[in-house]
A and B are shown apart, each in its own frame.
Chain A
């Protein structure tokens, strides 16, 4: 019982501290779960990250569920997941309720002036990261191109023609807003699998 409660509190703490989305969780997890609590080894953590990236769902929830299960079975998994999400539940609702009141204040307007373009920059970065997992075979080797790479990259960089086609078609369809996101996702999954079947990629 104590164990389950401990899991809940620990993940609440993680939920409070992960500023800037789930990626901020990785260093927190390594610090607390691997180095301090010894709940798992770094090797196991690496495996878990790989599993989380390949399975659907937010990576942070995947990891919390996995850790919780390791420590306390299904109740542990549940407590870890709930604990991770509880802080933001209250914080987002609080923000939504108070934002209306402070919308016109100088401080909030200043924060928004900075956050809006910052968001554009972050989304641009997310776009590049997505393309490096689909349209491009690997990360763009800009260091090699600039001649400042410390060691030659392991995987060859090339562009996947079918992926480019899907990318452009999806952009056009979703920009117009005529086709729903789910149809686009299923359509591209089918095209991608078919392409693999006939040897295109």
Chain B
């Protein structure tokens, strides 16, 4: 329902971009993927500003462009919703909480009550919930992403590379891109041959 987006006044769109990314950066602890998926939950699943199922394109672009995943997610959603200005506003929203909090910490204004039992309990609760967010997204996209043996192989190698060998994700992604091109070349050739054979039979 992108019509909703076009009906909204531009100022309102920009405000929602800023405010939601500010909220995400403030409350979603623990890294890039959680932030991307939280943004998907708000902007695709709730507001319907982006195409349904655009998450996969979004993930591909966010991961291949250098930069922080949270920042790239804000730029992607902001640009798709409201152009270059939208991207700027979303980016400001995602960077603002860190900027304010870290500056306060660096100036010695605030002390983080990290050894407090309740704070730790709340943190464990939030991280458990974000694990659920990640699992829910995996379950939703699994069938679209994992189409054949090649997909399972690449996914397994990337998972193992990160968890067991602590490889830099960038190298794994680069390898996956190259493998994807080779694999497509190979299967495309086969499909073309099959089509040709089919054509010969019919003729």
Contact = CB atoms under 8 A, between A and B. Distances in A.
Interface string B160-203: 01110000111111001111111111001000000000000000
Given A85-B91, A96-B80, A130-B134, A58 B98 contact: yes
Contacts of A57: 25-26, 70, 95, 97-98, 101-102
B130 to A, nearest CB: 6
B53 interface: no
A169 B129 CA distance: 8
Contacts of B137: 123, 174
A177 B45 contact: yes
A147 interface: no
Contacts of B188: 106
A168 B136 CA distance: 10
Chain B: number of interface residues, binned into ranges? 35 or more
B145 interface: yes
B133 A19 contact: no
Contacts of A201: 121, 124
Contact of A170 (B102, B103, B132): B132
A118 to B, nearest CB: 4
Which of B38, B121, B177 has its CB near the most chain A CB atoms (within 10 A)?
A: B121
Secondary structure of the B side of the interface? helix
B35 interface: yes
Interface in A163-191: 163-164, 166-175, 177, 180-182, 184-191
Contacts of A54: 112, 114
Interface stretch (A29-37, A108-116, A149-157): A108-116
A61 B138 CA distance: 27
Interface residues of A, number: 102
A186 to B, nearest CB: 8
A125 B107 CA distance: 36
A116 B151 contact: yes
Contacts of A60: 68, 70-71
A167 B176 CA distance: 30
B133 A181 contact: yes
20 contacts: A51-B112, A57-B25, A58-B68, A66-B105, A70-B106, A89-B91, A92-B65, A111-B177, A114-B178, A114-B183, A120-B138, A130-B131, A134-B131, A170-B136, A171-B133, A172-B132, A184-B132, A190-B125, A193-B119, A197-B121
Interface of B: 23, 25-35, 38, 41-42, 45-46, 56-57, 59-72, 75-76, 79-80, 84, 87-88, 91, 94-95, 97-99, 101-103, 105-107, 112, 114, 117-142, 144-146, 150-159, 161-163, 168-173, 176-185, 188
Given A57-B102, A129-B31, 9 more contacts: A23-B169, A56-B26, A57-B101, A65-B102, A78-B99, A88-B68, A115-B177, A119-B145, A189-B122
